[in-house]
Structure 1
């Protein structure tokens, strides 16, 4: 009878398999996925490294590594992703929370707000984070995808802000009522002709409707600019995430829509990432 490999041996083999498949940072992924298969914290993998791998854990690990080798994102295999210090449940139905979106969070939290509207709420990472960081605020999240609305609702419950968060299925402002002192959005901003150049993990495993507008990448900003004044309180702010080349175009839309103090903010890599402005008091 063949001895079961140790956890360390399984991890070495998995790392080699992922490296051969062209997966970036294969050792990190092998470690994280072993922890997930063993249902332990990643920090404890070293403790089990000398031990023989339980057959059930080994089977789960093999399945995870096989999926990762065909570039299924680690976050989808784990079912969660960290964002602004919190873990959010994710799936292939919603856009993965990304570190650069924290630029929008920082900008939003720079001034107080009572009512926030998140257009294209997705996983709920923006809305839920803002409500968790601002305990007196209430918010509404809208999304055209019913699956995204369910995911956002689940994350609101997970982070205990569900009493202050309403999630509705809506095509941008279509079903939105009332006014807000903060409107935020991370809309689909990748142009259709840019889609083939995306990383395979993004292009094949994230929802296309959350990535592209099937046009020039600016259609969502046109729709937001056309209706935001109807739902923006006097002195209220609008903050949207953008692609790195879209700062000027979106800024011009906001100014033409009547916003003042329009600015472009950079992410930690120095790329244009957020456009913000406010209504006249």
Structure 2
């Protein structure tokens, strides 16, 4: 459908979006961004006439959204666990469901290594809250376990935009939060987000545990590829990096690889928490048990589906 002639109003822009098949909420978010106004303002100013610059910006985003480009890629950002993150097509669009994995990690957050009088992997009620820790600087630590005076060392495997790692760092700014990814482009996005938020991360390039060879961790989390290669839902995900979505062995290859190598990289008592598909909980739990993990449990997503499974390394 051709774009309306002249300088369209707010109301005309929203009508055009509807004609293109773009959801009204998405259109309102894009239009509000183009005008730097709220949705409430748009509702009250339907006759406002857009400037040529505003029309051009909104039209470009609208055409992308009509083609199925995720809203986060159109705007270049996504809010996740209270943090505003830069998002590009080099990384997955962070989903709200993944916040369940972050919340679980915070529940079992390990104590400082000097304060472990109880069992490892339990919540630390004295851990400081906040986002900024400018005194810390990202660096590769010496191989081997951290000394008893060090804070917990945590790893996000396959970090992408850094969403999970940064959410954990925001909640525990004094922790040593590491993150790895096989994609250098993804690590660049994660670094940009860490810099913008003032939340330093130790970033490592490489595939799963090989990226952090010689290091051991008190907690590890991962949202790896877990979609089957023949999954029909992939048709709706063509704008996101396929390598971050799809795995062999019916979607379980990367999950199994992470679990199999985990014990060599975790200290006794450490937790490994994994996001997976809605029908993979049993297979992931079996793999964890086979690798020697105990206290295996699950967490559900916002729709009530079992989407996270984890366990604790005995010790």
TM-score (norm 1): 0.91
CA distance in structure 2 between the partners assigned to 1:3 and 1:152 by the alignment: 42
Are residue 175 (structure 1) and residue 211 (structure 2) matched? yes
Match of 1:231 in 2: 265
Are residue 106 (structure 1) and residue 103 (structure 2) matched? yes
| Offset of residue 124 of structure 1 | 0.6
- SS of the residue corresponding to residue 100 of structure 1 reads helix
Q: How does 1:1-281 map to 2 (within 5 A)?
A: 4-18=7-21, 23=22, 26-113=23-110, 114-162=152-200, 165-176=201-212, 177-194=214-231, 197-198=232-233, 200-202=235-237, 204-281=238-315
CA distance in structure 2 between the partners assigned to 1:3 and 1:241 by the alignment: 49
- SS of the residue corresponding to residue 239 of structure 1 reads strand
Per-residue CA shift, 1:23-55, capped at 9, x if unaligned? Answer: 4xx111111111122234444333543221111
Asked if 2 retains the 8 angstrom alpha-carbon contact of 1:7 and 1:52, the reply is yes
TM-score (norm 2): 0.81
Superposed CA RMSD: 1.6
Q: Which runs of 5+ in 1 are unaligned?
A: none
Specify which structure has the higher proportion of helix.
1
- SS of the residue corresponding to residue 216 of structure 1 reads helix
CA distance in structure 1 between the partners assigned to 2:98 and 2:108 by the alignment: 17
CA, structure 1 residues 175+30, in 2 after alignment: closer, same or farther (shift >3 Å)?
closer
Per-residue CA shift, 1:36-86, capped at 9, x if unaligned? Answer: 222344443335432211111112211211111111111100001111122
Asked if 1 retains the 8 angstrom alpha-carbon contact of 2:180 and 2:208, the reply is yes
